[in-house]
Amino acid sequence: MDFFMSQHSLTAMEWILRAAIGFIFLLVITKLMGQRSISQLRFLDFVMALLIGNIMAHPLSDEGLGMKGPMLTMGTLVFLYLIGVYLSLHSTTIRKILDPSPITIIYNGDILYKNLKKARIPLESLLSELRKQQIEEVHKVAIAMWEPGGEISFFLKPQYQPVTHQDVALPFQAFDLPIPIIEDGRINLSELLKLNKDESWLHDQLRSSYDATVHDVLLATIDKQDQIKIYLYK
């Protein structure tokens, strides 16, 4: 197709086709790179994100540039990226280069200033992260580590950790994730059938307990004890 190559001008349809192909190609590239590149933007992923965005942006906005070269370049970069990921999984040395080790920035309630500078984290940013974790005092932190993905992991000293059921020997129930059976006024029939329920049963529950119809419900969930929670449109 001619619009793959550089042109003096492109028609509106050729621009649309070029954008659509570029979008689909980026989806394929991202799929090949895997979920890791989306959920954790590590050093190697950051480099790839910069390169891919820069390479693909130009042919999508400049008819003088063809798409064949950028697509081949991106394919080569993804191939090298996958090799880098494979090597980092099988070589400790390469893993240390591509995935740096965490840096301890708080230890036993003391801020390690040299490590803070090494991670290039301003003191204000550290205090902001503490507030986000609802930690009001640095001395409560047993250890805090700057992770390669750019996040900070905090671990409180034992005396400041929240009390759990296990600590006070209280009985507890296994975790139960409620199942949505109505979403945005529509019945989730597949989930309802898995529970051996039908639409008639659901309508009866809504009328008897909430005096509502399916169209009144923003969200309805049910747990293993058949307890239904209803959230109406407001």
CATH of the domain at 120: 3.30.240.20
Q: Hey, which bits of 86-215 come out as E strands?
A: 103-107, 110-111, 141-146, 152-156, 179-183, 186-187
Residue 226's closest CA among 189, 208, 201?
A: 201
Average confidence (pLDDT) over 124-149: 91
Average confidence (pLDDT) over 31-59: 66
Instruction: Flag whether 172 is in a domain.
Output: no
Domain shared by 145 and 192, yes or no: no
Q: What is the pLDDT of residue 41?
A: 60
Domain shared by 184 and 227, yes or no: yes
User: Domain range for residue 66?
Assistant: 2-95
Average confidence (pLDDT) over 193-215: 87
Q: What is the mean pLDDT of the chain?
A: 80
Question: What's the CA gap between 219 and 183, in Å, rounded?
Answer: 5
Domain shared by 151 and 202, yes or no: no
- Residue 130 — pLDDT band, cuts 50, 70, 90? very high
Domain shared by 26 and 77, yes or no: yes
Average confidence (pLDDT) over 34-58: 65
Q: What is the pLDDT of residue 7?
A: 55
Give pTM, 2 decimals.
0.55
103-107 β-sheet, strand order: 110-111, 103-107, 141-146, 152-156
Domain shared by 18 and 83, yes or no: yes
Instruction: Flag whether 26 is in a domain.
Output: yes
Instruction: Flag whether 118 is in a domain.
Output: yes
Residue 68's closest CA among 4, 121, 124, 117?
A: 4
Q: What is the pLDDT of residue 141?
A: 95
Instruction: Flag whether 170 is in a domain.
Output: no
Domain shared by 23 and 83, yes or no: yes
pLDDT over 50 at 37, yes or no: no
Q: What is the pLDDT of residue 225?
A: 83
Instruction: Flag whether 201 is in a domain.
Output: yes
Domain shared by 107 and 90, yes or no: no
Which of 160, 192, 207 terminates a domain? The answer is: 160
Find which of 17-26, 71-80, 85-94, 209-218 is predicted with most confidence, using mean pLDDT.
Answer: 209-218
Q: pLDDT, tens digit, for every residue of 50-76?
A: 777 777 777 766 666 677 777 787 788
Q: What is the pLDDT of residue 62?
A: 67
Domain shared by 10 and 64, yes or no: yes
Question: What's the CA gap between 234 and 226, in Å, rounded?
Answer: 25
Instruction: Flag whether 83 is in a domain.
Output: yes
Q: How many separate domains does the chain show?
A: 3
Instruction: Flag whether 156 is in a domain.
Output: yes
